[in-house]
Structure 1
Amino acid sequence: MLESNFKLPGQTAFYKGKVRDVYTIEDKLMVMVVSDRISAFDVVLPRPIPFKGQVLNQVAAIMLEATKDIVPNWVKSTPLPNTTIGLKCDTFPVEMVVRGNLTGHAWRTYKTGERVLCGVTMPDGMKENDFFPTPIITPTTKAHEGHDEDISREEIVAQGLVSKEDYEQLEKYTLALFQRGKELAAERGLILVDTKYEFGKIGDTIYVIDEIHTPDSSRYFYAAGYEENQQAGIQQKQLSKEFVREWLMENGFQGKDGQQIPVMTDEFVNQVSERYIELFEKITGRTFVKEEVPAAEVEAKIAAALQSL
């Protein structure tokens, strides 16, 4: 599914994100349809990735179920392979990015000589992909359009984006969720390297929302061979969409003005799809079953699910 355009019972709002189509129902519920769109460098790429929406939605459902003892989550039901219905929360305007290793954006910052990221000081003498002494939280603003921006906890509180009390709770939930995610990954022979969480609030209760521990929000390394690769200076084998970013950079695209998105061949699109399915099976230990619901039936199935809640 590239995109949806439903008229659901009780629908009061619609928002099309980079990857998700989100329907608000009577200002109490949200229907999140996870499309097969793929984004990188905050740009939606021109071709959909088969079964990507199903992978993201089902990994998120499994991981939210496995962490609901840590923090309440927004999910009420998952009526379709790529669709979740849940509570509508007042969303905090920041994403809580947590990093266990010096990788990706953190490494790109570090190798320029910078040692401070989002107000957090990174130790000297580290190599790419090394573990931090303890995980670090490097939040970003949550942009509806354009690029998310790095921001420090001090700036978040000073600007009134999140109260000091709530932000401290978000940090506690973030570290606890990351620890659980690392434990679940270790059971499958993986290292959860970094990830991000989004949170919302209803009354005084904070909920984790959207997706967690998916290949769109997370990076995984294979644990086998990690130490040997670090000692030899060899890149780690990873399961994430970082390889999509790397492919784009190799082809001259980093989301900057004036840059053209390179042509995505059928071969490359299928490769990306296979990588998403590989992560699903590796992180969950389950066999991925490709499910295709006829487009004409999707809206009716979601409407029926809403009426049953």
Structure 2
Amino acid sequence: MKLVYQGKTKDVYELPTGNFLLKFKDDVTGEDGKFDPGANTVGLTIEGAGQAGLRLTKFFFELLNDKDVPTHYVNANIEESTMEVKPATVFGSGLEVICRYRAVGSFLRRYGKYVENGQPLDAFVEVTLKDDDRQDPPISEDALDMLGILTKEEYKSLKELTQQIGSIVKEALADKCIELYDIKFEFGRIGEQIALIDEISGGNMRAYKGDRYIEPLELERLVLEDISK
């Protein structure tokens, strides 16, 4: 295997088959020792976070594949904390797409003059550029098109996929009496098709039971507690 990228929460290796292998780490994003799925720095290391994130990712990607939602997922090895994926190209230098159901996090910090903490949102889709130096700035549909990152037709597909996948995850959590506040996705092109890439784990979302935030490891346990591993 050839190491091609070292990321904050996972490393990427190229396989002889042309596929790639993602190696999940125990590092999670955050600031000042506190977890924050929207942060662009590693905030802390949680023992077991890598495998927990992979278990949840495996569960959700297999659920999406069963529903014919396009993804890059091939298979996963929980013991080795690895996931095999199809090669995909990212948009520009990478986009992050957030689906928001409650006003929290960076949305609340930016728009707190107009919304209250935890105010319901109607599956609001927000796109940000992956750019650590500029704090992952939000970008509009028009700007994505004008800068040649994403066409307006592709943006429409991206938004629809985001809301579709967000709804599937939200419903799965609701079955466990857990409410999804927001979730962050990444997409790429596999050939000409837009597909979900990266992961779907507790490290990419905010989820609550009542008014209590669910930590990533606990979220994995609650969602998968009745499923044979």
Q: Which category describes the TM-score, using the shorter chain as reference length?
A: 0.7 to 0.9
* TM-fit CA distance, 1:158: 1.4
Contact kept in structure 2, 1:277 and 1:288, CA below 8 Å? no
TM-score, normalization by structure 2: 0.86
Give identity over the alignment, percent.
24
Structure 1 residue aligned with 2:76: 78
Q: What's the secondary structure of 1:105's corresponding residue? A: helix
Q: Which has the higher strand share?
A: 2
- Which one-letter code corresponds to 1:100 in the other structure? Y
The superposition leaves residues 183-207 of structure 1 with CA deviations (integer Å, 9 ceiling, x where unpaired) of 1111000111101111111222222
TM-score, normalization by structure 1: 0.65
The superposition leaves residues 231-258 of structure 1 with CA deviations (integer Å, 9 ceiling, x where unpaired) of xxxxx2112xxxxxxxxxxxxxxxxxxx
Structure 2 residue aligned with 1:94: 95
- Which one-letter code corresponds to 2:59 in the other structure? I
Regions of 4+ moved over 6 Å: none
277, 282, 299: which one aligns with 2:222? 282
The superposition leaves residues 246-291 of structure 1 with CA deviations (integer Å, 9 ceiling, x where unpaired) of xxxxxxxxxxxxxxxxxxxxxxxxxxxxx432111112234798xx
Q: Please list every run of 5 or more consecutive structure 2 residues that lacks an aligned counterpart in the other structure.
A: 31-38
Query: Aligned equivalents of 1:91 and 1:101: distance in 2?
Result: 28
Structure 1 residue aligned with 2:204: 217
Q: Does 1:173 align with 2:161?
A: yes
Query: Aligned equivalents of 1:159 and 1:67: distance in 2?
Result: 31
Q: What's the secondary structure of 2:189's corresponding residue? A: strand
Alignment of 1:41-190 (within 5 A): 41-45=39-43, 48-68=45-65, 69-81=67-79, 82-92=81-91, 93-111=94-112, 113=113, 124=114, 126-132=115-121, 134-143=122-131, 147-190=135-178
- Which one-letter code corresponds to 1:95 in the other structure? E
Query: Aligned equivalents of 1:43 and 1:180: distance in 2?
Result: 28
Aligned residues: 217
Contact kept in structure 2, 1:95 and 1:196, CA below 8 Å? yes
Query: Aligned equivalents of 1:78 and 1:208: distance in 2?
Result: 16
* TM-fit CA distance, 1:182: 1.2
Q: What's the secondary structure of 1:135's corresponding residue? A: strand
Q: Please list every run of 5 or more consecutive structure 1 residues that lacks an aligned counterpart in the other structure.
A: 1-7, 114-123, 226-235, 240-274, 290-309
- CA RMSD, Structure 1 to Structure 2 (Å): 2.1
Query: Aligned equivalents of 2:195 and 2:16: distance in 1?
Result: 19
Structure 1 residue aligned with 2:33: none
Contact kept in structure 2, 1:281 and 1:288, CA below 8 Å? no
Q: Does 1:238 align with 2:213?
A: yes
Query: Aligned equivalents of 2:190 and 2:162: distance in 1?
Result: 18
Structure 2 residue aligned with 1:195: 183
Query: Aligned equivalents of 2:88 and 2:169: distance in 1?
Result: 23
The superposition leaves residues 191-224 of structure 1 with CA deviations (integer Å, 9 ceiling, x where unpaired) of 1110111111122222211112x221101111xx
Query: Aligned equivalents of 2:159 and 2:68: distance in 1?
Result: 13
* TM-fit CA distance, 1:129: 0.5
Contact kept in structure 1, 2:176 and 2:223, CA below 8 Å? yes
- Which one-letter code corresponds to 1:22 in the other structure? V
* TM-fit CA distance, 1:36: 0.9
Q: Which moved more, 1:163-172 or 1:69-78?
A: 69-78
